[in-house]
Amino acid sequence: MIKSMRPQRWTLSILLLSVGLTLASAQQKPLPDTVVPAIDEAPTKAHSYNWMERHQAVVDRVKQGNVDLILVGDSITHMWGGVPQPGGPGQPLWDKYFGSRNAVNLGFGWDRTQHVLWRLDNGEIDGIQPKLAVVMIGTNNMGVNTSEDIAEGVKAIVDRIHHKLRRTKILLLGIFPRDPKPDSQTRQQVADVNKLISKLGRQRGVTFLDLSSVFLNSDGTISPEIMGDYLHPTPKGYVMWAQAMEPTLAKLFGDKPREN
């Protein structure tokens, strides 16, 4: 009698285990799109610029080696110009602050965190070991994703750089403020995300720097002289950015600060 019961007990145990695994699988939260690498087709479709062509230009430059500094981000970083494709309001400052540091611009207009992840996985940092990576990303995720999911996307980028570039230090910038007035919903979300990603500065090799106050008036408003569209810095805004970031950048990079 006891022997005949054993198969039934095993069957019941397996059934319960199967049900438990099914329930656990159903309860798992799907990954947010902010951490799932994806190609950014938007700028090409909008005839803004050819995203894949720029990606290939970065890959081709990286293959040449001699890269000590990378700037990773979206259009705000893209408009520093420099290498591999010059042009933009920040171009006059490129040679002074970045060019002599063997920098490559990995800023791509329209990009969200998931698009940066795809680029990092597809050749843009292969075969190099820069001294420093400057990262600012997430403003294009605003209003599309939750603050928590955006922060997860930023964390995934920091983790990916650490995994692939083990000796590279990371200067993680807080997302720049946007919109004319401080009470806008987007401005608040920027602040929320910055609070979350500031914790990444506790990681070894990561320095968090929030430059928000550099671009704000005393009442929290943004002047169009600094950000013409209340999102992208003007030439004056790029000067302010470069000067405010330079002391920290130089310290992490290991050279002397450029004179303002």
Calculate the alpha carbon distances from 67 to 77, 84, 85, 131 in Å: 17, 12, 15, 8
CATH number at residue 171: 3.40.50.1110
Judge whether 53 lies within some domain.
yes
Active site residues: 75, 229, 232
Task: State how many domains the chain has.
Answer: 1
Judge whether 17 lies within some domain.
no
CA distance 38 to 155: 16
Q: What is the pLDDT of residues 153-192, one digit of tens each?
A: 999 999 999 999 999 999 999 999 999 999 999 999 999 9
Judge whether 16 lies within some domain.
no
**Cis link prior to 30 (omega < 30° from 0)?**
no
- Predicted TM-score (pTM) of the model is 0.89
Judge whether 221 lies within some domain.
yes
pLDDT category, 26, cuts 50, 70, 90? very low
Structural domain including 90 reads 34-253
Q: What is the pLDDT of residues 39-89, one digit of tens each?
A: 999 999 999 999 999 999 999 999 999 999 999 999 999 999 999 999 999
Judge whether 108 lies within some domain.
yes
Hey, what amino acid is at 169?
K
CA distance 102 to 75: 21
